[in-house]
């Protein structure tokens, strides 16, 4: 293409994509050639398939999206891309990089991209595109296909803002407290929060909200009634997730290596761990893998849950210890999280998240299973928030939500005991330098 300029550059350290994209702070992307290097590396990883191709480009509207989209257009033109479909104002669903099947890039693709970022010497760009060149940019309304005629009064915060209006882009019970309070205090049947990901079938995507709405529409019942019936029949899982954000990466990586070695050592299965007067016996421990029920790919060393037999209420664990190979692109995903499962069906999960923009985010999950009449209490939750974080987990005072009111108690059972066991096993405070998580969900 006429007007192509070749720019000499040097590699930047650490351009390794995490979960569905390269997660760095804005000031990192503002470095000269940093963004251009990564764009060129993505295109180079696609090799000859990029010539004459059509790419869909966009982001979630945060600061710098417009500028990055502009660079993607110019660099794509220089590398032989035939057409770009761009969301208006650069806004489309994320992740930042998907494959042709619409899913996040598998490990073999992100590894190829990373390798290229460590060796890159130049990138190509067309600084000044003109209309008579053989390159097409189609700007689309990225929500037009999905608008179902809801009244404007049903929409809140409908104007995209580069800082998300001061709100957090990844909602949870902490960051979306205004939504939680609005649903509690208002006359609403349903409330849902999810980020901008296009994870259609995942729990944090639009599919989950639509699935729940379908259930409510079909049954004519409330969320509370549906859940009570489910818990009465199948029992209940109690779930707590602690996020330790922006921790130092090296100690956290060391922690995962040390812990994996410990839980896979001979003799760990069947070992006993005591806390708060209770003893927990390890049933299984691994770096989990599973097979996707839709596309038959198996994600190796992921995290999963137990299931409960519908007849005898016994708790069993589905274990897949072999690696997988995707039947379409032959990809393998590895080392996604560690878990320890106890004989009572409860489990502890520890993993490093790939969605943080700085350092390491440690996600530490506790899940308990219960089968009892009281499980049908809609407001019964285990640990919500420790209010004196400077003490050990068995001595902390916790808020428990029982009935319709909050009460304080010293947690000596349930999650708190597993909390203590998990902290003993992982030595998480010493590796992270944190006495308490950043966020509890």
Q: Is 287 exposed, middle or buried (0-12, 13-18, 19+ CB in 10 A)?
A: buried
pLDDT at 177: 86
Burial class (CB in 10 A: 0-12, 13-18, 19+), 185: exposed
- Report the distance separating Cα 202 and Cα 185, nearest Å: 28
List, for the chain, all residue ranges whose pLDDT scores fall below the cut of 50.
Answer: 96, 300-332, 376-414
Cα separation of 30 and 349, whole Å? 36
Class of domain 236-440: alpha beta
User: CA dihedral defined by 81, 83, 84, 88, rounded to 10 degrees?
Assistant: 160
Dihedral pair phi/psi, residue 380, rounded to 5°: -85, 115
Q: Can you tell me the distance from the alpha carbon of 259 to that of 182, in angstroms, rounded to the nearest whole number?
A: 41
CATH classification of 5-144, choosing from 3.40.120.10, 3.10.20.30, 2.60.40.2890, 2.40.128.30?
Answer: 3.40.120.10
Rounded to 5 degrees, φ, ψ at 2 are -60, 145
Tell me if domain 5-144 and domain 236-440 are identical in fold. no
Q: Give every CB contact of residue 6 below 8 A, 6+ residues apart in sequence.
A: 122, 123, 124
pLDDT at 390: 42
Are 432 and 376 in contact by the 8 Å Cβ rule? The answer is no
Per-residue pLDDT at 334: 57
Alpha carbons 212 and 226: distance in angstroms, whole number: 10
Give the pLDDT confidence score for residue 125 in this predicted structure. 95
pLDDT of residue 388: 37
Contacts of 332 (CB under 8 A, 6+ apart): 106, 107, 108, 300, 323, 324, 325, 326
pTM, to two decimals? 0.63
Closest CA to 423 of 386, 377, 370, 378: 386
Pairing of strands 272-275, 381-386: unpaired
pLDDT in tens, 387-428: 333 444 433 333 333 333 333 333 334 455 556 666 677 788
Ordered by start, the domain boundaries in the chain are: 5-144, 168-220, 236-440
Pairing of the two strands 83-91 and 54-59: parallel
What CA–CA distance (Å, rounded) separates 324 from 327?
A: 9
């Amino acid at each position: 293409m006429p007007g192509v300029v070749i720019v000499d550059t040097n590699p930047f350290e650490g351009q390794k994509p995490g979960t569905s994209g390269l997660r760095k702070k804005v000031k990192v992307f503002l470095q000269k050639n940093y963004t251009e290097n990564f764009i060129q590396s993505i295109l180079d990883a696609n090799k000859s398939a990029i010539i004459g191709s059509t790419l869909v480009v966009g982001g979630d509207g945060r600061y710098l999206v417009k500028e990055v989209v502009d660079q993607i257009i110019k660099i794509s033109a220089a590398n032989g891309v035939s057409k770009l479909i761009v969301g208006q104002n650069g806004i489309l669903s994320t992740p930042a990089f998907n494959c042709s099947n619409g899913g996040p890039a598998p490990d073999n693709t992100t590894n190829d991209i990373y390798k290229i970022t460590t060796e890159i010497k130049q990138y190509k760009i067309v600084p000044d595109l003109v209309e008579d060149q053989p390159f097409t940019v189609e700007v689309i309304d990225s929500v037009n296909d999905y608008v179902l005629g809801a009244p404007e009064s049903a929409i809140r915060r409908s104007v995209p803002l580069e800082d998300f209006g001061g709100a957090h882009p990844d909602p949870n019970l902490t960051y979306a407290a205004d939504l939680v309070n609005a649903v509690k205090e208002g006359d609403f049947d349903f409330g849902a929060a999810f980020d901008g990901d296009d994870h259609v079938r995942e729990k944090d995507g639009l599919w989950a909200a639509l699935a729940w709405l379908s259930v409510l529409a079909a049954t004519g019942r409330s969320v509370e009634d549906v859940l009570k019936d489910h818990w009465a029949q199948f029992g209940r899982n109690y779930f707590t997730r602690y996020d330790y954000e922006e921790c130092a990466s090296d100690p956290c990586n060391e922690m995962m290596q040390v812990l994996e070695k410990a839980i896979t050592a001979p003799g760990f299965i069947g070992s006993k761990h005591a806390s708060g007067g209770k003893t927990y016996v390890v049933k299984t421990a691994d770096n989990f893998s599973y097979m996707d029920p839709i596309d038959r790919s198996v994600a190796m060393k992921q995290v999963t849950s137990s299931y409960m037999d519908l007849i005898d209420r016994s708790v069993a664990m589905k274990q897949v210890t072999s690696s997988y190979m995707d039947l379409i692109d032959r990809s393998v995903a590895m080392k996604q999280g560690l878990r320890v499962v106890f004989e009572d069906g409860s489990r502890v999960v520890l993993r490093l998240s790939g969605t943080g923009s700085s350092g390491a985010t440690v996600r530490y999950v506790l899940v308990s299973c219960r089968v009892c009449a009281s499980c049908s209490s809609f407001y019964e939750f285990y640990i919500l928030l420790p209010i004196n974080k400077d003490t050990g987990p068995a001595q902390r005072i916790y808020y428990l939500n029982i009935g319709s009111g909050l009460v304080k108690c010293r947690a000596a059972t349930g999650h708190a005991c597993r909390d203590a066991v998990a902290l003993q096993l992982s030595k998480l405070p010493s590796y992270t330098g944190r006495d308490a998580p950043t966020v509890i969900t």
